[in-house]
Amino acid sequence: MTDNRNTILAVILSGLVLIAWQYFYNVPQMERQRAQSQQQAELQKSAPGSTTPQPGATPSPGAPAGQPAQPVVSRSTAIAATPRIKIETPRLSGSIALKGARIDDLSLEKFRDTVDPKSPAIVLFSPSGTAHPYYAEFGWVAASGSTARLPGRDTEWQQEGSGNLTPEKPVTLKWDNGEGLTFRRTIAIDDRYLFTVKDDVTNVGSAPVTLYPYALISRHGTPEVSGYYILHEGLIGYLGDKGLQEHGYKAVAEAPVLGNGARGFEFNVTNGWLGITDKYWAAALLPDTSARLKARFLAEEPGPKVRYQADYLQDPLTIAIGGTGSANARLFAGAKEAGVVGINFPFGHGGYNKQLGLNHFDLLIDWGWFYFITKPMFLALDYFFHVFGNFGVSILLVTLLIKLLFFPLANKSYESMAKMKSVQPQLQALKDKYPDDRQKQQQEMMEIYRKEKINPIAGCLPIALQIPVFFSLYKVLFVTIEMRHAPFYGWIKDLSAHDPTNLFNLFGLLPFDPTHIPVIGYYLALGVWPIIMGITMWIQMKLNPTPPDPTQKMIFDWMPLIFTFMLAGFPAGLVIYWAWNNLLSVIQQSYIMRKNGVKVELFDNIKATFTPKKAVEKT
């Protein structure tokens, strides 16, 4: 009775901890995100963009002093307000503004808001004046003391020639400052997400001029983030010998104040790249790997929104009279596809990382600390996907391969469990012989285990082996865009989302969503696949010998139900993996038990579960 009471108390306390975590952490976080989204939708002010460049410095994200705030306009209105060059590629659509020559209008045609292919395309960049400005800008900064007129955010560039920007046809923009300096910008794009920008300056004036090339990515307003510890969203870069730099929006906004009054971080490096990343999308500046950079992550709050900026300033160029100076820049703006970004791993994808010789550009995808497990997991899934065309099938096949890989270890574990089942009569005799002496029971039990060479914790090994596999698969499902909206069969349209069916609304017959219930809603996402997973886990437990200790028995009896509710809200792909793994374990364990001459009493144990206790005792 004492053991049972302690077990029940432990289960109740565990449940209270889960509910408390949901109430004090998850719910407030969801409320913050909801309030943040509402606030951004209701904001009626938006500053027009970056400041006039200061001599020898990169432009700041703030608006010029005294500049009146302007009302927010719709994205379509802002795009139509200025002359533009259209962008047309298989994966990107949008335009370049001739005013300021900014790349500030981009949509990802391959990716949609929902699983419905007719839903709107994902919007990445938006112009200033909209609710969520986000853009890339390139240009020149004059040396201290220079009075040369340089192109800025209000400069009206002219297109040389005509036509849209396509992978086959770059475009060239021109601006003459009227003082002997002519600026030309040639923008090219590939069939994926890479912009190549070449800036040329011709000097026919009366004196040499010294200019600093710069590039920046600016984002106005703090975006909603997933809020998970295992995923970085915010400013990111791999900056030479400084290594990988990941700074969340809050960290940048609370960073030390820099010389220009904004907060942030500065780096003087060579061979670096930097930008802003979301869960699935990113914008990153990719300068020449040999270029020396003064790179920065900035945050400034001149108005109702915080503005974040990733930028760099290169070494100066002195352009002699009659001479020409050039600067090259590159911009990645798109989806973080592994095959495009690249994976530094044997037999992995090269992508831009290898093609451009970049410094760990594959880390734009947050593979995590256990990348040495996560990357091979993704590569295996991706390989089978290209063979069979379904990531769900890939999960099933990779699970089978992992089972074969760990078969020798699991074989020893199941052999030990089979021996444990064979000594059950001896253990029962001990309980009858020493009914009131638990210590003596334990001593004699361990002696039997020693003689029979049984490892009493062998049953934990199969579960322990699953933990790194489970985590790596969870990471792959969570962070890789390849898994986003990847369907399986039947009702599973997105393996990265939880099973959309639900037992508590009778699988859609009742018109309400139980997951919206405060505090406990997360644990009520009990769909068909979580139920299948729970049943397979329960069957696997029934295959094992009954623990002699009543407390252990109760824990094992409740474990499948607890895991069913715990994993119900996890990605469907992960739940399918667990169910399939349980089924393979049952087959494997049954085979090994027969091999060791132990009767497989699966159906007898299941039958005994549903047989009244008195009937069992009579039998």
Q: Is 416 left (phi over 0), alpha (psi -120 to 50) or beta?
A: alpha
Residue environment code for 89-125, b if the CB has 16+ CB neighbours within 10 A, otherwise e: bebbebbbbbbbbbbbbbbbeebbeeeeeeeebbbbb
Answer yes or no: do 324 and 440 share one domain.
no
pLDDT at 258 over 60: yes
CB 159 within 8 A of CB 188: no
Higher per-residue pLDDT: 389 or 464: 389
In a domain, 3, yes or no: no
Domain region containing 226: 138-344+351-356
What does the pLDDT look like over 99-155, one tens digit per residue? 999 999 999 999 999 999 889 999 999 999 999 999 999 999 998 888 899 999 999
In a domain, 333, yes or no: yes
In a domain, 241, yes or no: yes
Q: What is the CATH number of the domain that holds 163?
A: 2.70.98.90
Answer yes or no: do 299 and 379 share one domain.
no
Higher per-residue pLDDT: 211 or 28: 211
Burial class (CB in 10 A: 0-12, 13-18, 19+), 139: buried
Cα 345 → chain centroid: 19
CB 258 within 8 A of CB 298: yes
Give CA–CA dist 607/43, Å, rounded: 64
CB 361 within 8 A of CB 352: yes
pLDDT at 49 over 50: no
Q: Given pLDDT bands bounded at 50, 70 and 90, which one contains residue 607? A: low
Burial class (CB in 10 A: 0-12, 13-18, 19+), 52: exposed
pLDDT at 37: 43
Amino acid at 226: S
What does the pLDDT look like over 302-335, one tens digit per residue? 667 899 999 999 999 999 999 999 999 999 999 9
Answer yes or no: do 451 and 523 share one domain.
yes
Q: In sequence order, which residues have a C-beta less than 8 Å from that of residue 39 and are 6 or more positions away?
A: none
In a domain, 290, yes or no: yes
Give CA–CA dist 181/201, Å, rounded: 7
CB 573 within 8 A of CB 488: yes
In a domain, 446, yes or no: yes
What does the pLDDT look like over 480-512, one tens digit per residue? 999 999 999 999 999 998 899 988 888 878 888
pLDDT at 35 over 60: no
Answer yes or no: do 182 and 321 share one domain.
yes
In a domain, 282, yes or no: yes
Q: Which two tokens stand for residue 325?
A: 């100076």
CB 311 within 8 A of CB 217: yes
pLDDT at 213: 96
pLDDT at 178: 93
Q: What is the pTM of this model?
A: 0.81
Residue with tokens 């029934």: 542
When divided into structural domains, the chain yields a total of 2
Give CA–CA dist 51/64, Å, rounded: 5
Give CA–CA dist 538/577, Å, rounded: 16
pLDDT at 47 over 50: no
Task: Using DSSP, state whether 416 is helix, strand or coil.
Answer: helix
Q: Given pLDDT bands bounded at 50, 70 and 90, which one contains residue 25? A: very low
Q: Indicate the DSSP class of residue 609.
A: H
Answer yes or no: do 394 and 338 share one domain.
no
Answer yes or no: do 406 and 303 share one domain.
no
Residue 609, number of CB atoms within 10 A of its CB? 10
First-last CA distance in the chain? 25
pLDDT at 614: 54
pLDDT at 266: 95
Give CA–CA dist 26/361, Å, rounded: 32
CB 504 within 8 A of CB 523: no
Strand partners, 238: 244, 273
Answer yes or no: do 401 and 444 share one domain.
yes
DSSP-assigned states of every residue in 189-233: E-SSSEEEEEEEEEE-SSS-EEEEEEEEEEEES-------TT---
Residue ranges with strand state E in 291-393: 292-300, 307-314, 317-319, 324-335
Choose the final residue of a domain: 324, 356, 388. 356
In a domain, 96, yes or no: no
Choose the final residue of a domain: 356, 385, 420. 356
Number of H helices, E strands in the chain: 17, 19
pLDDT at 440: 80
Answer yes or no: do 380 and 284 share one domain.
no
Q: Indicate the DSSP class of residue 150.
A: -
Planar angle of CA 460, 462, 464, nearest 5 degrees: 65
pLDDT at 429 over 70: yes
pLDDT at 269: 95
pLDDT at 575 over 60: yes
pLDDT at 264: 95
